[in-house]
A and B are shown apart, each in its own frame.
Chain A
Amino acid sequence: AQSVTQLGSHVSVSEGALVLLRCNYSSSVPPYLFWYVQYPNQGLQLLLKYTTGATLVKGINGFEAEFKKSETSFHLTKPSAHMSDAAEYFCAVSAVTGNEKLTFGTGTRLTIIP
C-alpha cells in the first residue's frame, strides 16, 4: 500500500521568505516521488521528481526537494518566495504494487503575503 500525507492544508509566507511544504509518504517498496503545482482552474504541472540516485532534486521555478528515507519525507522548498508561487501544491507517490498508480496528497494551498 502507498499513501501521502501533506501537513498543512494552507501555508502563508511573506514575499522573499523561505517556502517549506511538507510531504510524508508510506510505501512498502522504494518509492518514486513527485511534486506538482496547480494554478486556479488549471491542470497540474510537474515541478520535480525523485526516482533513484541523488536525494536532492531540483525542479522548475527555483523549487527543490530532498528525499529522506529515514524520515519517509520529501519536503518541497524554495529559498525566496515570489508572488507568482501562489498556487496549490500536490505531493504524489508511486510504488511498485502491480499497478503503478500515482497516489496524491490532499494538497497545500500556498499564499504569498506582499
Chain B
Amino acid sequence: DGGITQSPKYLFRKEGQNVTLSCEQNLNHDAMYWYRQDPGQGLRLIYYSQIVNDFQKGDIAEGYSVSREKKESFPLTVTSAQKNPTAFYLCASSISRGRYEQYFGPGTRLTVT
C-alpha cells in the first residue's frame, strides 16, 4: 500500500525539550511538506522540500527545523524555541514541484506541558 506514515500518533513532551516528528512516504514523490493545524486557523505551512537535500521555509518556520537526506523521509524537529508547540502536525507530499495535489499523512498530535 502506497502512502504517507507519520509516527507517533500522539506525542507528549515537557517544555524545553526538542522533539522530532517522523514522516515517511513510499509514493516516490519528490516534494514533501509540513503543516501545523490549530483550531479555527486552517493549515499553515512550516517547511517544504522539493528535492533531496533542499528545503525552504514556509510561513511559520521559526522554532522548527527539517532535513531531507532521503527522498522518502522528511522529519520535523520542534525545538525549544517554538513558543507554542502544542498542535496537530500534518505531513504531505506531491509528485513534484508544480501545481499538483498534495497527499496527507494521518498526523501527529503534539502536546507540550
CA distance A41 to B41 in the complex (A): 16
Q: Does B90 interact with chain A (Cβ within 8 Å)?
A: yes
Is B99 in contact with A106, judged by CB distance below 8 angstroms?
no
Q: Which residues of A contact B102 (CB under 8 A)?
A: 46, 102
Interface size class of B (residues with CB under 8 A): 20 to 34
Cβ-defined contact, A43 with B106, below 8 A: yes
In the complex, how many angstroms separate the beta carbon of A44 from the nearest chain B beta carbon?
A: 4
The total of chain A residues at the interface (CB under 8 A) is 24
B interface vs A, CB < 8 Å?
A: 4, 6, 40-43, 45, 48, 56, 58, 88, 90, 92, 97-99, 101-107, 109
Q: Which of B45, B58, B99, B107 is close to A43, meaning CB atoms less than 8 Å apart?
A: B107
Provided the pairs A51-B99, A99-B56, A100-B99 are in contact, do residues A43 and B104 lie with their beta carbons within 8 angstroms?
Answer: yes
Q: List 27 A-B contacts (CB under 8 A).
A: A9-B40, A34-B101, A36-B104, A41-B107, A41-B109, A43-B4, A43-B6, A43-B92, A43-B104, A43-B105, A43-B106, A44-B92, A46-B101, A46-B102, A49-B101, A51-B99, A94-B99, A99-B56, A100-B97, A100-B98, A101-B45, A104-B43, A105-B42, A106-B40, A106-B41, A106-B42, A107-B40
Docked complex Cα distance between A44 and B33 (Å): 13
B-contacting residues of A (Cβ < 8 Å)?
9, 32, 34, 36, 41-46, 49, 51, 90, 94-96, 99-102, 104-107
* Chain B positions within 8 Å of A106 at CB level: 40-42
Tell me how far the C-beta of B93 lies from the nearest C-beta in chain A, rounded to whole angstroms. Answer: 11
Q: Are B48 and A101 in contact, with the CB atoms below 8 A?
A: yes
Chain B residues near A102 (CB, 8 Å)? 45, 102
**A101 contact from B4, B58, B106, Cβ within 8 A:** B58
